[in-house]
Each structure stands twice: as structure tokens, then as C-alpha cells.
Amino acid sequence: MTAQTPLKPDKAQVALIYCRVSDKKQKTDGHGLESQEHRCRQYAEERGYTVEMVFPDDITGGGDFLKRPAMRALLAYLESEKDKNYIVIFDDLKRFARDTEFHIKLRREFAERGASVECLNFKFEDTPEGRFIETVIAAQGQLEREQNSRQVVQKMKARIEKGYYVFHPPVGYRYAKDKVHGKLLVRDEPVASIIAEALEGYASGRFGSQVEVKRFFESKPDFPKSGASGYVHPTKVKDMLQRSAYAGYVDAPDWGVSLRKGHHEPLISFATYERIQTVLGGNVYAPARKDINQDFPLRGFVCCDDCGEPMTSCWSKGRKQRYAYYLCDTPACASKRKSIPRADIEEGAESLLRSLQPARQLFTLARAMFVDVWEMRLAEARNAKKTLETQIKDIESQIEGLLDRIVEAVSPSVIQAYEARIEKLERQKIRLADQAAQTVPPQGRLEEFIEHALEFLASPWNIYAKGSIALKRAVLKLAFSEPLQYSRENGYRTAKTTFPFKVLAEISTPKCRMVEPRGVEPLTSCMPCKRSPN
């Protein structure tokens, strides 16, 4: 390998420059592309070449030159200009191809397009010795690349095993330097809170499908979206629902690292994460329709009184404007396709919600009831935590016993069965530990729960009127135990409210009647009895 000496060609030749750095950080921080281009231009000027185009790349491609956009563009450019004999200039042979197979293939691609290759620190020679040296150097580059890749994977794997997330931060997180942990995931607000609300809502059934989660994200201005249209891709939503990192855990199945507790702050509990996986795997909830939006918030919650099926909705075009309607579309229904103005449906539902406003004097009693129930549940939670801790100790004993059996086992199939059983027990241990940590609520949660509950009981209508489409539908589910029944002739039937509103209604309107003349004492027996002689 020797550096080429300046030559003066008989006639001017046209050159193309190819530059490459491994990542965008080298491009911005190290100015690698600019320095490579500068050296290549100096090289071309010394030899009297005219530089026609420069093709810069800021991704590595993993050895495959076809994965580099600028390299593909360079080959396409040569293909379109076959009448010219270009000279392609590289700063270093490693920028050419760090893989023996692709190195030879790329040389062939240039030769087929009539282009010659020149490098600042290596002289290509079309001799057996030159090709041998070129192949050795290409193989050396491949070895360095694979060794570097192995070292990076080993370091990343070791860090994951210690409970640290090492990949690109998930949406809602960012990396920050910590004095104890080094590079650590931290919450990226307000996006983190938006994601936590979405994941909790999907687990609880507030969002009945991934489509509803997607719409929720699109309704939040702070959530990062794709393009100017504010679009969130469905695959992004599914990936977020499947990420264990949001529950505070890390894993790397491709590297043999099982699920384990991470050092970063979780957005949801592990129990919530498992409920999400159950919903994803079992299709528990029916998919949401695209036409359930702010225009028709009651679609699917108001049923036809004739057939009992949920009503649909539509916009109808008149002569001068469009009109909104609800209607029943059930075959064989007496009210099929008979439109009802949207105002009749929604104003009636609003009146029902307004009627669910108990008297203010009942809230002192309601608060006392909440406190009593809270204290009772708190005692139950402490007992439950002790039971869970006992179960965790039992699982740890089982794991230790299986590890002893693995040491003594000889058959690979038996060892594999033991390892699968240990992995299952480890996951169960994680689940129980997370459940134990969440069982007893911290101090201060009582007032937090009471305030939200009383705010909802005081006036569900206010929350409904000011909320988004998702919140409106959540209020309907919390206020009414069954969908509302609507008759075209008589309007809404008697609504069936949920338990809290039933209790408050019975307290505020007690059943009273006059005391009978005989009094309130129980009647004496009608059987004859003997008088006492005294």
C-alpha cells in the first residue's frame, strides 16, 4: 500500500467524490464529511481532475453499500452518464466498503459502469499482487467492523443485565446524566404524562381500541406526530403498547436478557402493562369506529327503543347546508333509517346528566362514607401485602431449588425445561413484587381520590361539557350503568344510573309515610296467653 504521487494527465478528466461518516453525530460534531471532501478536492486539483459531483453519506449501512443512500445515488448517476469515464475518489479505503464480499461486488459495479476508482492512501493496481493486497485490507476492515460491533453488543448487554435501558429512548423518555447511574432514562414531560394516561386508559377500557389511543395522541398538541398533518402511525401506537420500558422494566430477548427491573422511573405499573398485553392478545374490546368523534359523541351509547340496538349517525346535505342526524340502521326495525335531529338526542342526554347533581349538603355524608371505606380497604391492603410477600419468598425458594437441579442435570432438554420454568417463575415474581408495591397506597392519596370522586359526583355534566370525545364517553360510562334508550315518540326512557348516584338519590329522597295508630312497635303474638296471678 503506497500513496499515489501527483500525475498530470494529457487531458482533463471528470471526477466524482464519495464521502462517508458512520453516524450523524460525526457529521455535525466532527465535521467529518467536510474534511473528507476538502482532502478529496485537493487530491483532484493536484491531478487536474474536474470535480462534477459530491455524494456524502452519514450512515454506515453495516458493510452493505446498497443500504447507503448516497452510494445508491452515485451508482445511479454513473448509470445515467455511461458516455463519460468518471474517476470516483475516496478519502480512505475503509470508506469504500468494510466487508470483503461487498468490496469486491462494489468494484465490479463501478467497472460495469466504466468508472475507475482512486483512493488518497491506497493505490489500486490491476495485478494479482495488487488485488491480493486490496482483498487483505478489505478483510482487515471487515474484521475491525465485526470486532467493534461485538464489543458494543457486549457492553450494551452487560448494562441491560444491570437494569439499564441502552437503546434509543422511547417516546416520553430522554437520556440524562446521573451521578450514580450515568446515562439514565428520565421522564420527558409533558409527553410522558400523555403516554401514561393513554396506557392506563387502554388497560382500563376507557379506550376501546388502538384507534382510540391513536386519536387521543393526535388530539394532544404536545405529542410528537408525523408530518405537518398531525398524523400518528398505528404501528407506533402498537409499539408503545408493547414496550415494557414504560412499566419500568428492561429486556433484550435477542441477546438472551430476560425481563428485569430497570433503574428508570416507570410511567405505569407492571400490572397495567400485563393487562395491556392481555387486551392486545385477546381482542377484549371491539374496535372503535372512525365516525365516533366530536360531532357525534353519543354514537354507540344511545340505543333505539324499538330494537335495542345502538344508533348510528350521519351528516345529511340540504339545499344550503348540512344537517346532523342520529338514526337506527338495524334491518327489520320499525324505526330503520328514520332520522332524529342531533339536537333532540344530545339535548336530552345533557338533561339527564344535569339531573345527576345531588344536593350540596350530602357531600359531608359522602366524604365520611369515603373515609370509612378507605380505612377498611387500607387494612385489607396491608394484609394482602403480607400475603404477597410470603408468596414471593416461596417463589424464590422454588427458583433456588431449580438452579440446584440445573447444576446436577446432564440432558440438554431437561436443562432447557428447567430454564423455561425459572423464567416463568421470575416473571411471576416480578408481577407479585410490583403488585405488593402498589397494594398499600401512600399517604396523601385519600384526599386526592376524594376530591376527584366528589368533583365527578357534584356535576358530571360540567366534566362532560368541557371534556374531549374520550372524556365525554368516559363520563357516560361512569354515570350510566347501561346505554340510554331513546324512543322517537316519547324521548329517553328512565336511565339506569351507576351505584354512587343511586345511593345519593335514595338519601336525598327518602321514602316516607305516616305512622300507623298502633305505633312503630312490633305486633304482639295473637296466640292466647295466661295472665300472671300477680
Q: Residues 170-189: pLDDT tens digits?
A: 999 999 998 888 899 999 99
Contact yes or no for 194/215 (Cβ under 8 A): no
Report the range of poorest mean pLDDT among 161-170, 338-347, 493-502: 493-502
Q: What rounded mean pLDDT belongs to the chain?
A: 79
pLDDT at 164 over 80: yes
Q: Residues 341-380: pLDDT tens digits?
A: 988 888 888 888 888 876 666 666 666 777 777 778 778 8
**Which carries the bigger pLDDT value, residue 7 or residue 222?**
222
- Interatomic CA distance for residues 482 and 308, integer angstroms: 11
Q: Which pLDDT value is given to residue 513?
A: 57
Name the amino acid, one letter, at 160. I
Q: Residues 392-404: pLDDT tens digits?
A: 888 888 888 888 8
Q: What is the DSSP letter of 490?
A: T
pLDDT at 114 over 80: yes
Kindly state the average pLDDT of the residues 271-294.
69
Specify the DSSP element, H or E, that contains 119.
Answer: strand 116-119
Does the 173-282 domain belong in CATH 3.30.540.10? no
- Interatomic CA distance for residues 265 and 185, integer angstroms: 8
**Which carries the bigger pLDDT value, residue 471 or residue 108?**
108
**Which carries the bigger pLDDT value, residue 320 or residue 500?**
320
Angle at 407 between CA 402 and CA 409, to 5 degrees: 85
Report the range of poorest mean pLDDT among 12-26, 240-254, 463-477: 12-26
Q: In 222-260, which positions are buried (b, 16+ CB within 10 angstroms) versus exposed (e)?
A: ebeeeeeeeebeeebbeebbebbbbbbbbbbeeeebebe
Q: In 128-148, which positions are buried (b, 16+ CB within 10 angstroms) versus exposed (e)?
A: eeeeebbeebbeebbeebeee
Contact yes or no for 395/436 (Cβ under 8 A): no
Q: Which pLDDT value is given to residue 362?
A: 64
**Which carries the bigger pLDDT value, residue 130 or residue 148?**
148
Percent of the chain past pLDDT 90, that is, above it, reads 9
pLDDT at 426 over 70: yes
Q: Can you give the pTM of this predicted structure?
A: 0.50
Does the 13-149 domain belong in CATH 3.40.50.1390? yes
3-state secondary structure of 187: strand
Q: Which pLDDT value is given to residue 31?
A: 61
pLDDT-derived band at 505 (thresholds 50, 70, 90) equals: low
Report the range of poorest mean pLDDT among 38-52, 108-122, 124-138, 377-391: 124-138
The CA R_g of the chain, rounded to the nearest whole Å, is: 36
Q: How far is CA 412 from CA 161, 254, 404, 405, 425, in A?
A: 24, 20, 15, 12, 20
Q: Which pLDDT value is given to residue 259?
A: 86
Q: Which pLDDT value is given to residue 144?
A: 76
Q: Residues 57-103: pLDDT tens digits?
A: 877 655 566 777 888 888 888 888 888 888 888 887 776 666 677 77
Q: Which pLDDT value is given to residue 25?
A: 57
Q: In 406-418, which positions are buried (b, 16+ CB within 10 angstroms) versus exposed (e)?
A: eeeeeeeeeeeeb
- Interatomic CA distance for residues 311 and 344, integer angstroms: 13
- Interatomic CA distance for residues 285 and 186, integer angstroms: 32
Q: Which pLDDT value is given to residue 70?
A: 85
Q: Which pLDDT value is given to residue 195?
A: 93
**Which carries the bigger pLDDT value, residue 165 or residue 137?**
165
**Which carries the bigger pLDDT value, residue 507 or residue 203?**
203
Looking from the CA of 96 toward its CB, the CA atoms found within 13 Å total 31
Report the range of poorest mean pLDDT among 101-115, 125-139, 213-227, 256-270: 125-139
pLDDT at 161 over 80: yes
Q: Which pLDDT value is given to residue 507?
A: 62
CA dihedral 142, 143, 145, 149 (to 10 degrees): 140
Q: Which pLDDT value is given to residue 534?
A: 47
Q: Residues 428-466: pLDDT tens digits?
A: 888 788 778 777 776 656 666 666 667 777 778 888 888
pLDDT at 42 over 70: yes
Q: Which pLDDT value is given to residue 355?
A: 82
pLDDT-derived band at 467 (thresholds 50, 70, 90) equals: confident
Q: Which pLDDT value is given to residue 6?
A: 45
Q: In 355-393, which positions are buried (b, 16+ CB within 10 angstroms) versus exposed (e)?
A: ebebeeebbeebeeebeeeeeeeeeeeeeebeebeebbe
Closest CA to 465 of 455, 454, 475, 477: 475
Is the preceding peptide bond at 190 cis, omega within 30 degrees of 0?
A: yes
Q: What's the residue count for the chain?
A: 534
**Which carries the bigger pLDDT value, residue 29 or residue 318?**
318
C-alpha cell at 286: 371491539
Contact yes or no for 32/26 (Cβ under 8 A): yes
Q: In 152-185, which positions are buried (b, 16+ CB within 10 angstroms) versus exposed (e)?
A: eeeebbebbeeebbbeeebbbbebeeeeeeeebb
Kindly give the interhelix angle for 499-508 and 445-458, rounded to the nearest 10 degrees.
Answer: 70
In 5-94, beta strands by DSSP E: 13-20, 49-57, 87-90
pLDDT-derived band at 7 (thresholds 50, 70, 90) equals: very low
Q: Which pLDDT value is given to residue 192?
A: 92
Report the range of poorest mean pLDDT among 214-228, 268-282, 453-467: 453-467
Q: How far is CA 13 from CA 52, 77, 109, 453, in A?
A: 10, 16, 20, 80
Please name the residues in contact with 260: beta carbons below 8 A apart, sequence gap of 6 or more: 161, 163, 249, 250, 251, 430
First to last CA, the chain: 135
Helical H runs in 81-188? 93-96, 100-112, 128-161
